[in-house]
Amino acid sequence: MTIMLERGARQGTLPRLLAGGRRLAEHRATYGQIPLRRFSGEDGRRALVRAIADAGLRGRGGAGFPTGKKMTSVAAGAKRPVVIANGCESEPACRKDKMLMACAPHLVLDGAVLAAHAVGADRVYLCVERGTSIADRLERELAQRDDPVKWKLVRVPRRYVSSEESALVHFIDHGDGRPTAVPPRPFEKGVGGRPTLVDNVETLAHVALIAAYGPGWFREIGTPTDPGSTLVTIGGAVARPNVYEIAPGMRIGEVLDAAGGAVEPIGSVLVGGYFGTWVPMPEGWSLPLSHDRTGPLGTTLGAGAIVALPAESCGLAETARVVRYLAEESAQQCGPCMFGLPAIAADLAAVAYGRCDPATRQRLTRRIAQINGRGACRHPDGATRLATSALTAFAADLETHMDGWTCTGVSRDPILPLPDRRHRDRTWK
CA-based nearest residue to 229, from 387, 104, 335: 104
pLDDT at 397: 85
pLDDT at 216: 95
Residues 315-418, CATH architecture: Up-down Bundle (1.20)
pLDDT at 267: 96
Alpha-carbon distance values, 337 to 50, 331, 334 (Å):
40, 7, 6
CA 134 to chain centre: 18
Say if residues 249 and 289 touch (Cβ distance below 8 Å): yes
Sheet holding 82-87, edge to edge: 150-156, 123-129, 82-87, 196-200
Is residue 420 helix, strand or coil? coil
CA atoms within 13 A on the CB side of 376: 15
Is residue 85 helix, strand or coil? strand
d(CA 88, CA 288): 27
pLDDT at 406: 67
Return the bridge partners of 238, or none. Answer: 262
d(CA 247, CA 13): 10
pLDDT at 13: 65
Q: What are phi and psi of 297, to 5 degrees?
A: -100, 5
Q: What are phi and psi of 11, to 5 degrees?
A: -55, 135
CATH number of 252-310: 3.10.20.600
pLDDT at 2: 46
Exposure string for 181-218, b = 16+ CB within 10 A, e = fewer: eeeebbbbbbbeebbbbbbbbbbbbbbbbbbbeebeeb
Q: Residues of the chain whose pLDDT is less than 70? A: 1-13, 403-406, 408-409, 411
Q: Looking at the chain, which residues constitute the CATH 3.10.20.600 domain(s)?
A: 252-310
CATH class of 17-218: alpha beta
Number of residues that this document lists for the chain: 429
d(CA 353, CA 270): 21
What does the DSSP 8-state code read for residue 268? E
If residue 318 lies in a helix (H) or strand (E), which one and from where to where? helix 315-328
Say if residues 83 and 112 touch (Cβ distance below 8 Å): yes
What does the DSSP 8-state code read for residue 251? B
User: What would the DSSP string read from start to end of 130-167?
Assistant: TTSHHHHHHHHHHTT---SSEEEEEEE---GGGGSHHH
pLDDT at 236: 97
Using CB atoms within 10 Å of the CB of residue 368, give its burial: 0 to 12 exposed, 13 to 18 middle, 19+ buried: buried
Q: Looking at the chain, which residues constitute the CATH 1.20.1440.230 domain(s)?
A: 315-418
Q: Which amino acid is at 112?
A: A
Q: Looking at the chain, which residues constitute the CATH 3.40.50.11540 domain(s)?
A: 17-218
In the chain, the N- to C-terminal Cα span, in Å, equals 34
